[in-house]
Amino acid sequence: MNPEEAVAARAAEAAARRSYGKLIAVLAARTRDVAGAEDALSDALAVALTEWPARGVPDSPEAWLLTVARRKLVDALRRRRHDEDAAAHLQWLADLKADDDGEPEWPDRRLGLLFACAHPALARDLHAPLMLQVVLGFDAATIASAFLVAPATMAQRLVRAKTKIRQAGIGFEVPSGDTLRGRLEAVLDAIYAAYAEGWSDPEGADARRRNLADEAIWLGRVVASLLPDEAEALGLLSLMLHAQARRDARRNPAGDFVPLSEQDPHAWDAALIDEAEALLHRANALPGPSGRYQIEAAVQSAHAVRRRGDRVDWAAIEALYDALCALMQSPVAALNRAVAIAQSRGTAAALAALDTLGRDARLQQYQPYWAARAELLARHGDAEGARRAYQQAVGLEREPAVRRHLQQRAARLGR
């Protein structure tokens, strides 16, 4: 690759990274043809790699890509089969031609695209993968690896979802009022699901999966910037930034797992925590009751006080989990509440709470339940019960570093 080609490639990659979702949203806004928009943008990027080395990188790479991609999209629409809706295609062609004649300040329709990806007509488990592909440009193989699905299976599911968006005429509109809040929950849940997948690879063994957390935060920033008065959008971004601030502290130099209670607060990213705290403050200042992500961010904020040398207020954390349990009826929230009770009211009260939770079949295959139970039984003096609980936790844990940590905890019981 000669120097001109290298410059062109870097410029095209940077433009796609900055504006992939923005370009796809504009291209597909009228036709609802997400797959067609992706093909058109891919063709435009290929043309850029051919023309930019010779002619130079344009002053506005994104505007250039949009113009070329629109022409590719028009050409593709003209080649469509005659048995499809010809009248609709003619209208789309006219609209695209009108767009191409002007619109120097093209609008940011990414939020509408995110709402389309999280439409209730689409399978919920496809919301996050669809966002990663059509807003961030991830390929199906990368998404499949992150969500532990075969690449061919994920590719087929994504194709079907995009076909449904086009055939059902799912619009890229941002809803209003109560509809906005209902649909926004699906958007935020999908972003958080993507973040959780990236967070689950703390050792960084899979570079693409590790970057998934960063990309989810980027999506969270998009939503928070476009909906600055939606407290839950701010709360989700605050929650993710609080978690991300502690990412490097989850492992010691030898690669061993370090639980939150044993982490060095000085190893946390202070700038991310400050940003997360500011976002949570803004969210809490908005009218209305707190939602799930605001409450979860508040829990993380309560732990972050250790950075200033303050003690964690476990009674406040228990109260926050009380609110979260009332809101969500989540067994995971109830488990975390029991862990907080151990700190605020003692081991016996926490074990009583865990005994009640143990009747929930969903927790029987959940490693943190057994790890928490083992820890509390050990504190209570029941070494044999703790050993059995640790065995259950070890058997359910996939991550080697966490498994070693649990095995080490179990080994200490006999000392």
* Residues 3-34: tens digit of each pLDDT: 888 888 889 888 887 788 888 888 888 778 89
Find out whether 327 and 292 touch, Cβ atoms under 8 Å: yes
Sorted by sequence, the CB contacts under 8 Å of residue 153 that are 6+ apart come out as 144
Find out whether 389 and 373 touch, Cβ atoms under 8 Å: yes
- What confidence tier does 204 reach under pLDDT thresholds 50, 70, 90? very low
- Please determine, for residue 254, whether its predicted confidence score (pLDDT) is greater than 80: yes
User: How much is the pTM?
Assistant: 0.79
Q: According to the model, what pLDDT value does residue 395 have?
A: 95
Q: Which of 183, 271, 196 is nearest to 230 (CA)?
A: 183
Q: Which of 302, 296, 350, 360 is nearest to 328 (CA)?
A: 296
Question: Please, which residues bridge with residue 148 across strands?
Answer: none
Q: Which of 208, 247, 200, 240 is nearest to 224 (CA)?
A: 240
149, two tokens: 């699905």
Alpha-carbon span 231 to 287, nearest angstrom: 8
Name the percent of the chain lying above pLDDT 70.
Answer: 90
- Return mean pLDDT, the chain: 86
Sign of the torsion formed by the C-alpha atoms of 68, 71, 75 and 80:
positive
Question: Please, which residues bridge with residue 257 across strands?
Answer: 251
- Please determine, for residue 278, whether its predicted confidence score (pLDDT) is greater than 90: yes
Q: According to the model, what pLDDT value does residue 414 have?
A: 67
* Residues 284-316: tens digit of each pLDDT: 999 999 999 999 999 999 999 999 999 999 999
* Residues 391-405: tens digit of each pLDDT: 999 999 988 999 999
Question: Amino acid identity, residue 142?
Answer: T
377 vs 7, higher pLDDT: 377
Q: According to the model, what pLDDT value does residue 392 have?
A: 95
Q: Which of 334, 335, 314, 309 is nearest to 323 (CA)?
A: 334
Residue 257 — φ and ψ, nearest 5°?
Answer: -70, 135
Residue with tokens 């940003």: 275
Mean pLDDT comparison of 105-109, 189-193, 374-378, highest-scoring range:
374-378
Q: Which of 8, 84, 77 is nearest to 46 (CA)?
A: 8
Residue with tokens 């200490």: 412
Q: Determine the 3-state secondary structure of 81 from DSSP.
A: coil
Alpha-carbon span 364 to 415, nearest angstrom: 28
- Please determine, for residue 83, whether its predicted confidence score (pLDDT) is greater than 60: no
- Please determine, for residue 160, whether its predicted confidence score (pLDDT) is greater than 50: yes
Q: According to the model, what pLDDT value does residue 359 have?
A: 84
Q: According to the model, what pLDDT value does residue 210 have?
A: 46
- Please determine, for residue 88, whether its predicted confidence score (pLDDT) is greater than 80: no
Q: How many CA atoms are closer than 13 Å to the CA of 162, on its beta-carbon side?
A: 26
The C-alpha R_g of the chain, in whole angstroms, comes to 25
Sorted by sequence, the CB contacts under 8 Å of residue 199 that are 6+ apart come out as 213, 243, 247
- Please determine, for residue 415, whether its predicted confidence score (pLDDT) is greater than 90: no
Q: Quick one: how many helices (H) and strands (E) in the chain? A: 19, 0
Run of H or E residues at 215? helix 207-226
Q: According to the model, what pLDDT value does residue 27 have?
A: 87
Find out whether 73 and 31 touch, Cβ atoms under 8 Å: yes
* Residues 305-363: tens digit of each pLDDT: 999 999 999 999 999 999 999 999 889 999 999 999 999 999 999 999 999 988 888 88
Q: Which of 351, 371, 365 is nearest to 396 (CA)?
A: 365
List the chain domain ranges.
1-106
- Please determine, for residue 86, whether its predicted confidence score (pLDDT) is greater than 60: no
- What confidence tier does 390 reach under pLDDT thresholds 50, 70, 90? very high
Q: According to the model, what pLDDT value does residue 103 have?
A: 46
Kindly state the average pLDDT of the residues 103-130: 81
Alpha-carbon span 325 to 77, nearest angstrom: 51
Asked which of 67-76, 177-186, 214-223 is least confident by mean pLDDT, the reply is 177-186
